[in-house]
Structures are given as structure tokens and as C-alpha cells.
Amino acid sequence: MSSSSSSSHLAFAHPEERAAATASADPRDRISLRDYMVDVEIGAFQTERGLTQRLMFNIVVEVQPQAAPLDDDVDKIMSYDRITEAISDELAAGRVNLLETLAEHVAERILAAPQAMRAFVRIEKLDRGPFKLGVDIVRTRAATPVQAQTDDGAVLHPVVAFFDNAMIADAALVARVAGLEARGAPLVLCVGMPEVAPAQVGIDVVQKRIDLLAIEQNAWVLAARNRDWLVVDSRTEIDWAIRQGKTIVWAPPKLVLDAVDSPLDRASDGAALALWLAEELAAQALVMPEGQKLSAGSRVPVETFAEQAG
């Protein structure tokens, strides 16, 4: 089958087939809900108000395999009820106009389960004609920001700042960071590749790890400019440091390698990794050197150091 015909086939394939075709290298289990039908009042058109219509749900959830023996214990798995409850709870939350909105919210509820890694949600209207009208979405835990919170439950939205090598060596670095700290938000500092290129090998996956380690070394170079800045590499450390009000220097290897939808293909691009981290942390802003190129479509507002100075 050609790539174009294969893509067309997958566009209409059941979510279970789509999940299998787009699976990552790491092992995952799948649970599914097929042809689950509910009567719902939904729709943006006036003719759809005050009436119910049938919706059909097909959902596949990729979950982390259980490391310890299951012992036939239901508490050690993600229950199928989690899927049906996500649907019923979202429908009970209030009327929506769009299938897209409903699918998005159902996926969010499913991905709140700690075992859930990726959710495929298909919803179809059955009563709009002699056909089905529907929407398919795929959402991952990586696309759902996990936000650090204070002890009283308040969400903390940090500022993430990327420094190029010229800025790391600049005598004004500490003052520049102090200006960012003055904003009053938690601060995460990121760097890219060092001036001296790391060793080059002929194996792509190995090279990516070497590049990540080179960025980590550069993070320690940055942290050496101020002993109060804390180098961190795990999500637990980041959340703790944010709650403690520490200024953080991010060492990327662990988070990048452990991520469900890892940005490993951008291992040598420090700015792209900083953007990924900002989205993961639901940052209030990403501050970049003027002229730094980023991919379009960021979910985080991007500022420049020039704007900060102004």
C-alpha cells in the first residue's frame, strides 16, 4: 500500500488501528471502548436545541504497562469505567455546541488518570442524515501541561528564559537574571549547545544523547555564574524548586528521554527544547534572545530580552 493510500486508510480506521500504526517505541498496553452510544443534546444549530440525538463514542487509551505483578487486582490497572465516567461526567457538566469541544474535554478527563499516556477519541453524530458526522482527536499526556502547585493548591506558572552562549559569557548576565526574578514568578533558565561542538558519532540515537549531555554541561557553566541558581533535571525537582521560589537551571537529558512524546529529534536545538519545557510547565512566558528562531504555533507567549530591557 502506498504512503498516501495508507494515510487515507488510517484517516477512517478505527482508533485502535490508528493507535497501533502510530505507536512509539516504548511498550504500552491499550484499553478500548467501542460503539458506546448515548442520547445527548448537542449542536451549534438552532434546530439541534431542545432535542437529543445519538452520539457514538469509540475511544482507545494507551496506558503504561504495570511493572509489578497484577495479582488479579483491579486497583492496579486503569479501569474501563474511567472511560465511560469521563463521558458521563463531561456530559453532566453542561451543554456544548461542538463535538470538538466534547472530545477535547473527554480526553482531558481520561488523561488525568496516572496510567494514561495517549487517548484517541472518536465521536460521531448518528441522526443528522443517512450518514455519520464525526470528529477524531489524539491527545497525549505531554500535551496536557502538568502544573506545579503551592501547598494551598494555587497553580504556579513560571517564566522560562533561554540564554545563548554570548549571554552566558556576558558580564551583565546576573543583572539580567535579577530583572527576570523581579517579575515575581518562578524562573527557569535554559541553554543550548556549548561553543565547542561535542564528539560526533555515526549513530543517530547515540548522537542525540551526546548532544543532550553537552547541553547539560552548558547548564552547569551557566549555574556557575551564581551559586544560588539550582541545576535540576527531574520533574519532581523542578516542581519542588518552583514551590521553594528557587531560580532553576534546567539540565534536559532526563526529562527529554523520559517524555511520552519526547522532543529527542530536537536534542541539539536548545531553543526548541526550552519551548517544549515552557509548554510542559504551562509557563506564563518564554523569554528569548532577539532574533532567535522558533517553530510557529507555541501555546506559550514568547517575549524577547530586548522587550524586557525596554
Is 152 inside any structural domain?
no
Residues 109 and 240 in one domain: no
pLDDT tens, position by position, for the chain (310 residues)?
Answer: 444 445 455 555 666 676 666 655 455 688 889 999 999 988 878 778 888 899 999 999 988 776 556 556 555 567 788 899 999 988 888 888 889 989 988 998 888 787 888 899 999 999 888 888 899 998 886 544 444 454 554 556 899 999 999 999 999 999 999 999 998 889 999 999 999 999 999 899 899 999 999 999 999 999 999 999 999 988 888 888 888 888 999 999 988 887 766 788 888 999 999 999 998 888 889 999 988 887 766 778 889 987 666 5
Is 154 inside any structural domain?
no
**Alpha carbons 289 and 309: distance in angstroms, whole number:** 11
Strand order from edge to edge, sheet including 53-63? 29-40, 53-63, 116-125, 133-140
Q: Which of 143, 178, 199 is the last residue of a domain?
A: 143
Q: Which among 103, 5, 9, 115 has a CA at the least distance from the CA of 58? A: 103
Residues 138 and 178 in one domain: no
Is 55 inside any structural domain?
yes
Residues 13 and 68 in one domain: yes
The residues with which 266 forms a beta bridge, in sequence order, are none
Domain of residue 232, residue span: 159-309
Residues 178 and 233 in one domain: yes
The residues with which 287 forms a beta bridge, in sequence order, are 161, 303
Is 273 inside any structural domain?
yes
Is 150 inside any structural domain?
no
- By CB neighbour count within 10 A (0-12 exposed, 13-18 middle, 19+ buried), where does 122 fall? buried
**Alpha carbons 269 and 290: distance in angstroms, whole number:** 16
Domain count, the chain: 2
Cα 270 from chain centroid (whole Å): 17
Residues 11, 21 contacting (CB under 8 angstroms)? no
Q: Which of 84, 110, 143 is the last residue of a domain?
A: 143
Which residues fall within 8 angstroms of residue 4, CB to CB, at 6 or more apart? none
